[in-house]
Amino acid sequence: DAKTTQPNSMESNEEEPVHLPCNHSTISGTDYIHWYRQLPSQGPEYVIHGLTSNVNNRMASLAIAEDRKSSTLILHRATLRDAAVYYCILNKWANFGNEKLTFGTGTRLTIIP
């Protein structure tokens, strides 16, 4: 299975943009790039996903490199509520019914007031 690499932790000031990187150099042509986040004591929360083109939704933007070997989750204006562990995951479907899938350790984002 294709693997992803993320920094263990990042910090950002409140109300500033945050760029969370993810490397996935072994991505296959059919893998979707998903981002989930997990707040303390909660289940993972869907953020965004994409295949080739950049994607925007009300929560964030996803910028995908032209060669698809890396991507960046962009939070346009971080709030304290955005403090969470962010996971970048690859899967051939939009769903995760895959026995081999794990979320890994993700990036712990700290927002500084």
Partner 1 sequence: KAGVTQTPRYLIKTRGQQVTLSCSPISGHRSVSWYQQTPGQGLQFLFEYFSETQRNKGNFPGRFSGRQFSNSRSEMNVSTLELGDSALYLCASSLDVQETQYFGPGTRLLVL
Q: Which amino acid belongs to residue 69?
A: K
78, 12 contact by CB (below 8 A) = yes
Q: Is 108 in the site for partner 1 (CB under 8 A)?
A: no
Q: Please say which residue, 13 or 105, places its beta carbon nearer to partner 1.
A: 105
Smallest gap from residue 102 Cβ to partner 1 (A): 5
Rank residues 32 and 74 by Cβ distance to partner 1 and give the closer one.
32
Rounded to an integer, what distance in angstroms lies between the CA atom of residue 56 and that of residue 78? 16
Query: Among residues 13 and 56, whose Cβ is nearest to partner 1?
Result: 56
Other residues' Cβ atoms within 10 Å of the Cβ of residue 22 = 24
40 binds partner 1 (CB under 8 A): no
Strands (E), 24-83: 32-38, 45-50, 55-56, 61-64, 70-75
95 binds partner 1 (CB under 8 A): yes
Q: Is 5 in the site for partner 1 (CB under 8 A)?
A: no
Footprint of partner 1 (CB under 8 A): 34, 36, 41-46, 49, 93-105
